[in-house]
């Protein structure tokens, strides 16, 4: 049991479960175009076990059963993402009618079940034809994204409860262009610096297109990590500060203050696009809310061999999840407080939080993880932070990016051979809390 009640979070607080298109949908033969995750996953060495999202949870066909699970768990909202290549197979131009029809069914299915549709425009599946033109390193991505946002606004805008532009811009830019761990798998500081700027510029152009079309309740989803030094040495403190800059301050500063942190601007130097300053006004336009994804902390040490960004992550002493991520609910409380105190205030949502656990349906450790992190949210609210909702990651076991199907994050277990769904004890714990009115 979670040991908490709905009423601990005040009236109107929204509980939801989250997923993302590439991780669950499959259904790739309806005219959908290729994405950077298809080719990245099909290249040996990128994804554990050579897994791909070709079938995933077959949510494309099994969505009614999955939405029933959201409803029966007592959740108010479902956070899902649109697949850009399903709607626009070439990335721009002519939409795919079957793709539009799929999201019509899905959104209407939510509304019929009394579930609030909480959508994300971009959860990492860039159409491959746009990667061929430079992807996130090309400034044109901001215009391509705005056109895609306008299409979604036109077709679905009035049925969505909330809409986020980008999921985890740090992953889109840094993890994928500097660390090379996600598609397109680059390791290049110039491409990184450009992607760090263009991903926020696209957020800005997308947001403007959505506002123009009259879509309500708009935000962005940032992943934040508490950065802490691995030792008391001054140079480790500097490493943690730099990581904090690249991971947290760049994105918080961009969207909430229309300003990038000077220390990171200096490190990227001439690799940043010319006249990036001119875009900050658009990037920093007011949001209706800001989403925070929280999983762990970052323990950092100085790494002199690491060039302009001399930091390296070290393993910490705390209990870890099956992903090897330290479990640190205190970090969530302190990050929420910090965002509230140091940045212009907007309503906050926890848009993802959860853990990979051992296989099986009995998952007391996951239930404890949720209980401890929900308690941090409760405390932050009590201290005055305006947090309006919490989404568990994830509804289902799914394609966990470079980890393939090996890491299980679901409240509901998926047997990928039979596609059978089985609710776990953690799902029952949420259900008990959420349906006890
Ligand atoms: C986040 C992603 C999500 C999932 C979780 C575990 O970074 O947004 O898709 O992979 O991590």
Judged by DSSP in three states, 297 sits in: strand
Which residue CA neighbors atom 4 of ligand 1 most closely?
A: 400
CA 278 to centroid of ligand 1, rounded, Å? 31
All residue ranges of the chain with pLDDT < 50 are none
| pLDDT of 59 | 99
Q: Which atom of ligand 1 is nearest to the CA of 223?
A: 7
| pLDDT of 309 | 97
Judged by DSSP in three states, 225 sits in: strand
Angle at 47 between CA 41 and CA 49, to 5 degrees: 110
- CB contact at 8 A, 405 and 397: yes
Q: Which of 25, 352, 400, 413 is catalytic?
A: 352
Q: Which atom of ligand 1 is nearest to the CA of 354?
A: 6
- Which residue, among 173, 212, 220, 201, has the nearest Cα to 279 in the 3D structure? 201
Which residue CA neighbors atom 10 of ligand 1 most closely?
A: 400
Beta strands in 214-286 (DSSP E): 218-229
| pLDDT of 42 | 98
Those residues whose C-beta lies under 8 Å from the C-beta of residue 111, and which sit 6 or more positions away, are: 117, 159
The domains of the chain are located at 6-435
Phi, psi of 202 (to 5 degrees): -65, -40
| pLDDT of 7 | 97
CA 234 to centroid of ligand 1, rounded, Å? 32
Phi, psi of 423 (to 5 degrees): -60, 140
Q: Which atom of ligand 1 is nearest to the CA of 20?
A: 9
**Catalytic residue status for 352:** yes
Angle at 180 between CA 325 and CA 242, to 5 degrees: 65
Query: Which pair of structure tokens corresponds to residue 381?
Result: 């609210």
Class in CATH terms, 6-435: alpha beta
Give, for 238, the enclosing helix (H) or strand (E).
helix 234-244
What gap in Å lies between CA 335 and CA 206, rounded to an integer? 27
CA 437 to centroid of ligand 1, rounded, Å? 31
Using the structure block, give the residue that is written with the tokens 């425009």: 121
Residues in the chain, how many? 437
Give the C-alpha distances (Å, rounded to integers) separating 163 from 109, 117, 351. Answer: 17, 8, 12
What gap in Å lies between CA 207 and CA 216, rounded to an integer? 10
Q: Which atom of ligand 1 is nearest to the CA of 124?
A: 9
- Which residue, among 211, 179, 197, 338, has the nearest Cα to 255 in the 3D structure? 197
Share of the chain residues as helix, strand and coil, in percent rounded to the nearest 5: 45, 20, 35
Please report how many Cα atoms fall inside a 13 Å half-sphere around the Cα of residue 69, on the Cβ side.
24
Strand partners, 65: none
Site to substitute for ligand 1 among 393, 400, 402, 403, most atoms within 8 A of C-beta: 393
CA 404 to centroid of ligand 1, rounded, Å? 12
Those residues whose C-beta lies under 8 Å from the C-beta of residue 350, and which sit 6 or more positions away, are: 291, 292, 293, 294, 332, 373, 377, 387, 389, 390, 391
CA 119 to centroid of ligand 1, rounded, Å? 15
Site to substitute for ligand 1 among 400, 405, 407, most atoms within 8 A of C-beta: 400
Taking the alpha carbons of 150, 156, 160, 163 in that order, is the dihedral positive or negative?
negative
β-strands 420-423, 412-415 pairing = antiparallel
**Catalytic residue status for 65:** no
Which residue CA neighbors atom 2 of ligand 1 most closely?
A: 168
The answer to whether the pTM exceeds 0.85 is: yes
What gap in Å lies between CA 6 and CA 14, rounded to an integer? 9
CA 235 to centroid of ligand 1, rounded, Å? 30
Which residue CA neighbors atom 9 of ligand 1 most closely?
A: 20
Phi, psi of 172 (to 5 degrees): -60, -45
- Which residue, among 262, 268, 225, has the nearest Cα to 247 in the 3D structure? 225
Give the C-alpha distances (Å, rounded to integers) separating 357 from 146, 235, 414. Answer: 38, 34, 13
Residue range 88-140, pLDDT digits in tens: 999 999 999 999 999 999 999 999 999 999 999 999 999 999 999 999 999 99
**Binding pocket residue ranges, ligand 1, CB within 6 Å:** 20, 23, 167-168, 171, 223, 293, 352, 393, 400-401, 409
What gap in Å lies between CA 95 and CA 106, rounded to an integer? 17
| pLDDT of 127 | 99
Q: How many CB atoms are located within 10 Å of the residue 240 CB?
A: 22
What is Dmax (Cα atoms) for the chain? 58
Query: Which pair of structure tokens corresponds to residue 338?
Result: 């910090």
């Amino acid at each position: 049991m979670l040991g908490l009640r709905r009423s601990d979070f005040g009236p109107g607080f929204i509980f939801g479960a989250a997923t993302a298109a590439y991780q669950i949908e499959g259904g790739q033969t309806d005219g959908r175009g290729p994405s950077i995750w298809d080719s990245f996953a099909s290249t040996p060495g990128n994804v554990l076990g050579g897994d791909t999202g070709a079938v995933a949870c077959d949510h494309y066909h099994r969505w009614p059963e999955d939405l029933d699970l959201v409803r029966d768990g007592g959740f108010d909202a479902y956070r899902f993402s649109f697949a850009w290549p399903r709607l626009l197979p070439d990335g721009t131009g002519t939409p795919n009618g079957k793709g539009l029809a799929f999201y019509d069914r899905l959104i209407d299915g939510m509304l019929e079940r009394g579930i609030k549709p909480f959508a994300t425009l971009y959860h990492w599946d860039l159409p491959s034809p746009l990667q061929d033109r430079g992807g996130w390193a090309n400034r044109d991505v901001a215009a391509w994204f705005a056109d895609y946002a306008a299409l979604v606004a036109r077709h679905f805008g009035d049925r969505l409860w909330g809409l986020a532009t980008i999921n985890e811009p740090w992953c889109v830019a840094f993890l994928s262009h500097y660390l090379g761990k996600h598609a397109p798998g680059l390791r290049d500081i110039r491409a990184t610096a450009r992607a760090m700027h263009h991903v926020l510029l696209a957020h800005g152009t997308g947001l403007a297109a959505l506002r123009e079309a009259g879509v309500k309740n708009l935000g962005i989803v940032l992943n934040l990590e508490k950065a802490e030094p691995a030792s008391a040495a001054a140079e480790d403190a500097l490493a943690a500060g730099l990581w904090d800059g690249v991971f947290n301050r760049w994105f918080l500063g961009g969207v909430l203050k229309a300003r990038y942190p000077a220390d990171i601007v200096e490190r990227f130097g001439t690799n940043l696009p010319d006249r990036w300053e001119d875009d900050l006004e658009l990037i920093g336009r007011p949001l209706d809310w800001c989403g925070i994804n929280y999983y762990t902390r970052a323990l950092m040490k100085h790494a002199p061999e690491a060039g302009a960004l001399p930091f390296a992550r070290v393993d910490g002493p705390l209990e870890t999840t099956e992903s090897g991520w330290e479990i640190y609910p205190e970090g969530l409380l302190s990050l929420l407080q910090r965002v509230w105190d140091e940045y212009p205030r907007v309503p906050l949502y926890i848009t993802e939080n959860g853990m990979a656990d051992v296989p099986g349906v009995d998952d007391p450790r996951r239930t404890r993880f949720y209980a401890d992190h929900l308690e941090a949210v409760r405390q932050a609210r009590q201290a005055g932070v305006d947090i309006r909702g919490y989404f568990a990651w994830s509804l289902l076991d799914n394609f966990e990016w470079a980890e393939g199907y090996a890491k299980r994050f679901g409240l509901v277990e998926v047997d990928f051979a039979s596609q059978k769904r089985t609710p776990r004890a953690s799902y029952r714990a949420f259900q008990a809390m959420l349906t006890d009115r």
